[in-house]
Amino acid sequence: MDSPLPLARLSAFFSRASHAPESPVPASLNRLQTLVSEYLRPEDIEKLQAAYHFSAEAHEGQFRISGEPYVSHPVAVAEILAGWHLDAQALTAALLHDVMEDTNISKQEIADRFGKTTAELVDGLSKLDKIEFQSKEDAQAENFRKMLLAMAQDVRVILIKLADRLHNMRTLDAVRPDKRRRIAAETMDIYAPIANRLGLNSVFRDLQELSFQHAMPMRYRVLERALKAARGNRREVVSKILDAIKHRLPECNVQAEVEGREKGLYSIYRKMREKHLSFSQVLDIYGFRVIVQDIPSCYLAMGALHGLYKPVPGKFKDYIAIPKANGYQSLHTTLIGPYGTPVEIQIRTTKMHQVSQSGVASHWLYKDNDGTLNDLQVKTHKWLQSLLELQSTSPDSAEFLEHVKVDLFPDEVYVFSPQGKIFALPRGATPVDFAYAVHTDVGNCCVACRINMELMPLRTELRNGDQVEIVTASHPNPNPAWLSYVKTGKARAQIRHHLKTAQQEQAATLGERMLGQALRAHGLNVAAVGQAVWERFLKEFGPKLNRKEVLTDIGLGKRLSGIVARRLAELQMVEGEHNDVIQKPKPAGSLLIRGSEGVAVQLARCCRPIPGDPIVGLVKKGQGLVVHTHDCPLLVKSRGERDKWVDVDWEFEPGRSYEVAIRAVASNQPGVLAKLAAAIAEGSANIAHVSMDDERGAYTSLYFTLQVIDRIHLARVMRNMRHVPEVVRINRSKGENPERNQPGAQLY
């Protein structure tokens, strides 16, 4: 590498900056030129000079809300990045990051002047202001989606964006209060977790503190005053602990640097809020960091300090053996110091300390030339690639952002596969999350799990050190109920994607059957409708529409089969002059359903129809065909929508059982539930759920959800239940609150 430009030649760097004497730009330029002279080549510095002139000219006449020339902002962002020793392309993109958004400069012009890579970086940072969105939330979600996907291609995008947000947060005082709070909330919600996920610990802490300061200014000022007061009161204790540590480590032949550190105001506030403590009860405001030369010295230092002060049981964490997902490594332990004061200690090597502060910025993927990847790079690469995978299964921007935000929470648990491979999952994760972390196909085919060699429910929360084994089926069949307890964005996105795909296929099949039923009234069937007729029909409703989408819309209730059939029949009549396919109209007939068609056909939970019941189908938008009993009270509300009613009938399916709700009123005596359960078992029925009223009078109501084959089977079971002497009344529940028969009701 060529030697950097001498300082004499750098004196002319950015010489065309012409601002008022009080402008902050010259000072920022001086700091920037000092930083880049330490590691960039002369030709790179000349490119930066050209980029600055280009940016200054593009932003000429533009000012920040504070009154400073606008170019001061990109210079400050470049200065932050230079402190991380980012390359010339990243610094150039930082100087130009707002020119596409705020001026008439195009991406192609930037590519012509500064190269395609720099143009791609700037484009990834530019907002989508020229596209109209339905709401501000949609625009924000799309901006994040674009930025995160650009980051997946080149991590420098997010590094520049984080430096941009950091400088904006440092100069947020000039913004009006309502906008200040909105930006602070957005930073806390998205940018700070991303910084943490990439291992940029110092940026993460700064963004947290600044967000807290602007989002809750009163609380921030109160805590700031309290901390200043406590700082003086506890100075003697902190000094005593620091001296004791510095003397103890050399005695054990451990060479180390020891520094005290103060908890951030936001960390103190969060601990007070989560544990319901007052400020005076938060004793561990101060901590200490021990930096040693190598990994064995970390454990020697820990042993020495445990001999100095007693450790708190359960408060030791070894992030060296099992690093965090963002590459962070350190030993954490809490000791009981003088006067019973808890003392937090972090022990790490010099290299670990560098990574904890700079994270992926210290050695990002594209900088390596030897093709090798260290652990941090591999983990970062996997996370960035997971963003692309999430995008493929979540094309909707808001949904994509929701899945990404789920994965940004820092608390993690570490579990093992049967082969001993470690998986880092968010706290509260379940075996379903683990299955999708192993592979998408494993998650989709998951049916059961073993945790530490024992069969456990899939909704069990995993704990640190658990060994998890997934039992799979031969065919994928994700359960919609999983969405209520999975924690990872990947699991949630893959489940939704599979269910949505299955729903589309099932809805298309159902839509074809419903259209065929409606066409019979016009003397047609689906096969008789010619290609020319379909083409004319599709042209009327949109050039991008296709036949399968029309059938899917019918199955999902977004289009009425009768209207589609009528229009197809009219078009067929036109074509009928040359095509003798139209027959005498016939009764539409009933649509046969089995109840096992999938999500496109649903048996209503309010009345729980079973074979043998007279039934009516109701087409509901977005849900497909919902089947009710003909006397269901909820159908009364749909009398004005008769065009959405479908004549349906049962089609026998061997081995299929159906859930039905039963209410039994019995005298409140010991053993009555056991007698009823025996009567149900004698009738060869299964009990899915059971609950009872909270009242404890002479009589009580018991609510059963039974699994039966048909109406005749149900009648036999109810007859057995009536033979129980304590039963005074039994009937089938229809139109009542279906939640009575669901998990969560009082179970016995």
Q: CA nearest 387: which of 243, 543, 493?
A: 493
Tell me the mean pLDDT in the region 414-438.
88
503 or 706, which is more confident: 706
Among 232, 291, 292, smallest CA distance to 262 is for 232
Q: Of the ranges 488-492, 547-551, 704-708, 728-732, which one carries the lowest mean pLDDT score?
A: 547-551
| pLDDT exceeds 90 at position 195 | no
Position 227 confidence tier, pLDDT thresholds 50, 70, 90: confident
The pLDDT of residue 458: 93
- Lookup result for tokens 């820990």: 302
Q: How far apart are CA 226 and CA 86, in angstroms?
A: 39
Does residue 737 carry a pLDDT above 60? no
For residue 206, the model assigns a pLDDT of 93
Task: Assign 492 a pLDDT band (cuts: 50, 70, 90).
Answer: confident
Sequence-ordered list of residues with C-beta below 8 angstroms from that of 168, at least 6 positions apart, any chain? 73, 183
429: pLDDT strictly greater than 50:
yes
The answer to whether residues 593 and 648 touch, using CB atoms and an 8 Å cutoff, is yes
Per-residue confidence band for 718, with pLDDT thresholds at 50, 70 and 90:
very high
Q: Which amino acid is at 566?
A: R
Alpha carbon 229 to chain centroid distance?
40
Strand, coil or helix: 543 = coil
Catalytic residue of the set 46, 87, 101, 109: 101
Q: Is the pLDDT of residue 5 over 50?
A: no
> Catalytic one among 46, 102, 505, 597?
102
**Residue 274 falls in the annotated catalytic set:** no
Digit-coded pLDDT (tens) for 560-607? 777 777 778 877 776 654 444 445 555 555 667 666 555 567 788 888
At residue 741, the pLDDT reads: 46
Residue with tokens 């939704």: 496
Q: What angle do CA 688, 691, 695 make, to 5 degrees?
A: 170
Least confident of 226-240, 322-336, 351-365, 475-489: 351-365
Q: Which two tokens stand for residue 174?
A: 């000039």
Range name among 34-48, 80-94, 125-139, 630-644 with the lowest pLDDT average: 125-139
In this structure, are residues 560 and 643 in contact, taking their beta carbons and an 8 Å threshold? yes
pLDDT exceeds 60 at position 371: no
pLDDT at 436: 92
Assess whether 370 carries a catalytic annotation.
Answer: no
What's the pLDDT band for 144 if we cut at 50, 70, 90? low
Q: What is the pLDDT of residue 168?
A: 92
Ordered domains of the chain (ranges, CATH): 7-215 (1.10.3210.10), 234-357 (3.30.460.10), 411-487 (3.10.20.30), 497-650 (no CATH), 658-741 (3.30.70.260)
* pLDDT category of residue 35 using cuts at 50, 70 and 90: confident
If DSSP codes are grouped into helix, strand and coil, which group holds residue 592? strand
Q: pLDDT, tens digit, for every residue of 241-282?
A: 888 999 999 998 899 999 887 778 898 898 888 888 888 777
Distance CA 726, CA 668 (A): 8
The mean pLDDT of the chain is: 79
> Closest by alpha carbon to 667, among 696, 691, 689, 694?
696
Asked whether 53 and 15 are in contact (CB, 8 A), the reply is no
Predicted confidence (pLDDT) per residue in 312-340, tens digit: 888 888 989 888 877 788 999 988 888 77
Alpha helix locations (H) across 62-129? 72-83, 88-96, 99-102, 107-114, 116-125
The mean pLDDT value for 540-548 works out to: 72
Q: State what percent of residues in the chain have pLDDT above 90.
A: 21
- For 664, residues 6+ apart whose C-beta sits below 8 A from its C-beta are 676, 701, 702, 704, 721, 727, 729, 730
pLDDT of residue 562: 73
167-185 pLDDT, tens per residue? Answer: 999 999 888 888 999 899 8
Burial class of residue 133 in the structure, from the number of CB atoms within 10 Å of its CB (0-12 exposed, 13-18 middle, 19+ buried): middle
Quote the percentage of the chain above a pLDDT of 70.
78
Structure tokens at 376: 């941090």
More reliable by pLDDT, 26 or 102? 102
